[in-house]
Structure 1
């Protein structure tokens, strides 16, 4: 009989201990607002929760990458728009200077205009993004274009420029992960937009085109022969301006296409993020009303068990758990 009574007491105390532990767990849920406190409570749910948190952090990182890429592409798009505008004005000068009635005063005015455009081009080519990083330098963060002396220098009566603009960047554009395993280039190189440093049969740097038209417009017009010589040079340069314009326009379209891709990825990424956050909320959050109801019921049951136990033992005071 003593053994049975002892076993009863032990089992009753153990049961009340479990009730007390459950009360503590419910109280922690109510206080923190979180359903899971430790992995031991529900290993499967905790595993889903941890994986969901990791996916949510990664999705937010992709979103941040898209914002950074979009900002840089917007700076690039504006620069390319300015570039095409300058090239159009350069072609207009070439067409205007080609007229048969061109006076020497007009030649000087056109020369001054293309020299100003040349300087403007250099400014555009060395533009930076919001972080101060060169837009067209490839992996080079600082100014990718520089005005440098020609070696060996031209000898009079040559009208070739003594200084030319050279590209100091490289052909590699930084890429970032914008989601769905897609690595996107955040810009274009200088040679992509302004033309290659080494001329080809159909293309050359827009700076070489401008240096050529400046050289062509430098000698004064003294007679019909000098005017005809200028017209001949301008004919070829008009084609170069067209090629330079098309190159810049192609890059403008490419950058716009990337912007559209980012918009699409933003929409899908936002939807995915909403799904992840809803799942995390379901896994993490506790139903406060339900938890409070369980807590009240369990507390009442525990108090009743304690009172019954005290009465059965005939004690005047019970050391509550």
Structure 2
């Protein structure tokens, strides 16, 4: 083989270039603190690192979602607790208003106090979270959940959906609750209508035992066949002091009564004053739902109306009591649900933290830099580079003619 000056030069330059490449590669590993700078360094390890990095980014997104969800749910929890306190205060004032010794001025004063609490309740029902989203407006969170119409009645203006956050690969969680379900669709007090259709007796009727009446209505009310909701009470004549009650199937109850004295049937109280021989037609009122604010407002209006009898005022107060009771039951259910969701987020947060640690350890095991080994390799590659550079310098100054 013929050895030329060019061959010696090229081999020396190639050796120096390789030494420089090894040196720079080690430097790059140290600078980036990883054994795998390029996929070619370890194709299998690089693929695993990419998967772990993608998983870590996803876990971070879940963590951010859980933080936002937690904030929103905590705002809702505080709002529900405050509203429960407000409704309790309204209840106390309405109980006081049932004292028959009060004057109209007293009723007006209590009505004003209740109205102040009502306004506070309305504000809380339009609570916003830290991002300015209306908590109880469903997914229509950019606008107030409840508005007050020109007629003074409150109306829900959101939707029935819930905003959701993904906190796991296959786990989503609701970050709010619709105010329609909690406040707007609250069952009002069940009642009935009674009229005298025959006879001269004067009739007075009311629900005297709400629980008994509610149970009777629940068992017998028909939304499909309204005829089944009608009943008839007949006082016998001659033989004053006896009555019978019938429905579409026939007589369902009989009993004795004293004219002018109340008697009851499944929570319904009737008072007939006058001669026997009268017929009373009575029927279930259709169960309805209404916003608790409207029911309380009706009670306020009744307190301010001096033309109402004590019985009429009491009916309005009882309507508000029932609406508040049912609303607080809805709020209790919502609060329990919020608590359960917060517990779920706590559990997922703990899981996410553990998985994040695992991912970091796995990435370190696959691509983590052994500092001692890298430092040693850097010194060796640096020495090799210096040696190749020195050799190149010497060979560059030589010529085969120098040996002749």
What TM-score do the two structures reach when normalised by structure 1? 0.81
Counterpart in 2 of 1:62?
Answer: 62
Asked whether 1:214 is paired with 2:300, we answer yes
* Cα separation, 2, equivalents of 1:314 and 1:17: 15
Could you list the runs of 5+ residues in structure 2 that have no partner in the other structure?
189-285, 400-404
Alpha-carbon contact 2:155-2:184 (below 8 Å) kept: no
Alpha-carbon contact 2:135-2:176 (below 8 Å) kept: yes
| Structure label with greater radius of gyration | 2
Alpha-carbon contact 1:125-1:190 (below 8 Å) kept: yes
Counterpart in 1 of 2:320?
Answer: 237
Q: Output aligned runs, 1:159-308, within 5 Å.
A: 163-196=152-185, 201=287, 203-220=289-306, 226-301=309-384
Alpha-carbon contact 1:203-1:244 (below 8 Å) kept: no
Deviations 1:10-31 (A, max 9, x none): 8887676544432321122123
Counterpart in 2 of 1:131?
Answer: 131
Alpha-carbon contact 2:104-2:304 (below 8 Å) kept: no
What TM-score do the two structures reach when normalised by structure 2? 0.66
Alpha-carbon contact 1:176-1:185 (below 8 Å) kept: yes
Deviations 1:228-276 (A, max 9, x none): 3322332343222211111112112211221121111111111111221
Counterpart in 1 of 2:192?
Answer: none
Alpha-carbon contact 1:29-1:286 (below 8 Å) kept: yes
Counterpart in 2 of 1:153?
Answer: none
Q: 1:113 to 1:237 in 2, by over 3 A?
A: same
Deviations 1:184-210 (A, max 9, x none): 111111113323178683753211221
* Cα separation, 1, equivalents of 2:296 and 2:316: 12
Larger RCO: 1 or 2 (CA < 8 Å, sep 6+): 1
Q: 1:306 to 1:129 in 2, by over 3 A?
A: closer
* Cα separation, 2, equivalents of 1:176 and 1:207: 31
Alpha-carbon contact 2:154-2:291 (below 8 Å) kept: no
Total equivalences in the alignment: 301
Alpha-carbon contact 2:186-2:326 (below 8 Å) kept: no
Alpha-carbon contact 1:204-1:244 (below 8 Å) kept: no
Counterpart in 2 of 1:31?
Answer: 31
Alpha-carbon contact 1:80-1:193 (below 8 Å) kept: no
Q: Which has the higher helix share?
A: 1
* Cα separation, 2, equivalents of 1:314 and 1:19: 17
Counterpart in 2 of 1:109?
Answer: 109
Alpha-carbon contact 2:19-2:388 (below 8 Å) kept: no
Q: Secondary structure at the match of 1:177?
A: strand
C-alpha displacement at 1:57, in angstroms? 0.9
More displaced, 26-35 or 185-194? 26-35
Counterpart in 2 of 1:22?
Answer: 22
* Cα separation, 2, equivalents of 1:216 and 1:300: 98
Counterpart in 2 of 1:154?
Answer: none
Alpha-carbon contact 1:100-1:227 (below 8 Å) kept: yes
Q: Secondary structure at the match of 1:258?
A: helix
Deviations 1:26-52 (A, max 9, x none): 122123323222111111111111111
Counterpart in 2 of 1:157?
Answer: none
Alpha-carbon contact 1:202-1:243 (below 8 Å) kept: no
* Cα separation, 2, equivalents of 1:122 and 1:307: 86
* Cα separation, 1, equivalents of 2:101 and 2:324: 23
Q: 1:21 to 1:218 in 2, by over 3 A?
A: same
